[in-house]
Chain A
């Protein structure tokens, strides 16, 4: 692919690159700089993009590696638990949402994923949110496919534990109510 080919694709990819950058960095200023830097790097290396690689996956990989490099430069391992902007953990009540419970659940899902360790969170974002295949996620992150599946499995067990607890609490609250009635 040439820089001109990539140039034609970049504007339309921008919204997804922006949300991805926001979700991995948790900060709008970092996300903006991150996407800008990623676009520069991508255009400089457009010739390296192979026809069999999806341009969006390739851009995600550049955004992700740029962020990792930046964290290294700042001598921090992760942004999690540092100064995550909590406003990004909110979800909006979509008119298509059927119930308030569904809306609340959306928020809990976002929080659960965003609070995973970095390595697991990015895999969840790529596979469960962006819809990449395990193979594409492996290419994006430059790791073996087994690593993707292993991180995904650990992430899902963490989230599963969280939601099992919620279900148990809801069930016991409801049974308490029934008994009290």
Chain B
């Protein structure tokens, strides 16, 4: 009896007739019984175990190089906007990266291929190895580098923002942090968060944010609208803590609620469109909020009203009251 059939049996994937056949064989074959016992013993919480594997975070150099690579491709496809330095020229003047795979002796000669208009693949390969500070793109997702990715200096912010928004497209009156958050959100596709596992240790994350970032955040419960909370990320903008809560609706692109401290007086909801994105902003109790999504997906203003009016309730307190152990486990 083959192992694939036995594995399907152990996993409960057989039809009743096949299952009976396997059970009959187990009764008469010690070998089959032994293999079934081993397969049963292998039913272990693999995913949980690997989530706790002690791995180094994504190296900043890798995040930077991939961002630079993406930028190089954007430039090649003509999507780069005005106001940027020429990546090839910048790269050429700064190229200093190590050559990967040198142990295999297969590194490509690239130093002379940087001029624009040459065969593209080679300069791109080269460029990702170069260190170019201007290209330290802020828009790299994931908690692994959230402490640094949005740490834009005043000088670099305009360069980074100009990457995806031309001055004409940047609405007047929109705070720079909102523009940065909108651009970050722009990179989110449904697939970006669809496969995220449920957030582990949400109470701890929220407590850390309240204690370390000084943000009095409430995680809105949007389940009644069909929105599932996927991420709570701690980012920084100009050395200020910025929290991004990402929700996935039943259909369409993810929606994010971003929060930052702000001393300005309270402000009522305002909706704006930033080319393909829409954003609803408001201020309450010395915190600014931006609800960001893709234009045309849904009525963000209504959702913003729902959240701002506290109609949504606090997801965290509801989870804690439903599962009191969640607090002690976190």
Q: At the interface, yes or no: A40 with Cβ under 8 Å from chain B?
A: yes
Contacts of B49 in A (CB 8 A): 91, 105-107, 109-110
Within the complex, what minimum Cβ distance (angstroms) separates B258 from chain A? 16
Q: At the interface, yes or no: A77 with Cβ under 8 Å from chain B?
A: no
Within the complex, what minimum Cβ distance (angstroms) separates B72 from chain A? 9
Q: At the interface, yes or no: A170 with Cβ under 8 Å from chain B?
A: no
Residue in contact with B53 in the complex, picked from A15, A90, A93, CB distance below 8 Å:
A90
Q: Output the nearest chain A residue to B58 by Cβ-Cβ distance.
A: A18
Q: At the interface, yes or no: A81 with Cβ under 8 Å from chain B?
A: no
CB of B101 within 8 A of CB of A88, answer no
Please, how many angstroms separate the alpha-carbon atoms of A161 and B39 in the complex?
A: 8
CB of B54 within 8 A of CB of A164, answer no
CB of A153 within 8 A of CB of B4, answer yes
Residue in contact with A160 in the complex, picked from B38, B66, B69, B73, CB distance below 8 Å:
B38
Contacts of B142 in A (CB 8 A): 11-12, 14-15
Instruction: Kindly identify, within residues 47 to 74 of chain A, every residue whose CB is under 8 Å from any CB belonging to chain B.
Output: 54-56, 70, 73-74
CB of A96 within 8 A of CB of B329, answer yes
CB of B6 within 8 A of CB of A153, answer yes
Q: How many residues of B contact A (CB 8 A)?
A: 67
Contacts of B66 in A (CB 8 A): 10-11, 14, 35-36, 39
Instruction: Kindly identify, within residues 57 to 81 of chain B, every residue whose CB is under 8 Å from any CB belonging to chain A.
Output: 58-59, 61-63, 65-67, 69-70, 73-74, 77, 79
Q: At the interface, yes or no: B52 with Cβ under 8 Å from chain A?
A: yes
CB of B77 within 8 A of CB of A150, answer no
For the complex, would chain B's binding face be called helix, strand, loop or mixed by DSSP majority? helix
Instruction: Known contacts A9-B192, A33-B101, A94-B52; decide if A129 and B38 are in contact (CB<8 Å).
Output: no
Report the contact-size class of chain A (Cβ under 8 Å from the partner). Answer: 35 or more
Q: At the interface, yes or no: B187 with Cβ under 8 Å from chain A?
A: yes
Contacts of A36 in B (CB 8 A): 62, 65-66, 69, 100, 128-129
Residue in contact with B40 in the complex, picked from A13, A19, A105, A160, CB distance below 8 Å:
A160
Q: At the interface, yes or no: A84 with Cβ under 8 Å from chain B?
A: no
Please, how many angstroms separate the alpha-carbon atoms of A3 and B69 in the complex?
A: 11
CB of A9 within 8 A of CB of B191, answer yes
Instruction: Known contacts A4-B79, A95-B204, A156-B39; decide if A74 and B104 are in contact (CB<8 Å).
Output: yes
Q: Mark A137-161, 1 if CB is under 8 A from B, else 0.
A: 0000000001001101111110111
CB of B192 within 8 A of CB of A12, answer yes
Contacts of A171 in B (CB 8 A): none
CB of B69 within 8 A of CB of A40, answer yes
Contacts of A156 in B (CB 8 A): 7, 38-39, 42
CB of B58 within 8 A of CB of A15, answer yes
CB of B3 within 8 A of CB of A153, answer yes
Contacts of B144 in A (CB 8 A): 15, 18
Q: At the interface, yes or no: B125 with Cβ under 8 Å from chain A?
A: yes
CB of A40 within 8 A of CB of B195, answer no
A-B pairs, top 3 by smallest CB distance, nearest first, are: A160-B38, A160-B42, A156-B42
**What are 12 A-B contacts with C-beta separation under 8 Å?**
A11-B70, A12-B193, A39-B69, A40-B124, A40-B125, A89-B53, A94-B200, A96-B330, A106-B48, A152-B7, A160-B42, A163-B42
Chain B contact residues, CB within 8 Å of chain A: 3-4, 6-7, 35, 37-42, 44-56, 58-59, 61-63, 65-67, 69-70, 73-74, 77, 79, 100-101, 103-104, 106, 121, 124-125, 128-129, 139-144, 186-189, 191-193, 195, 200-201, 204, 329-330
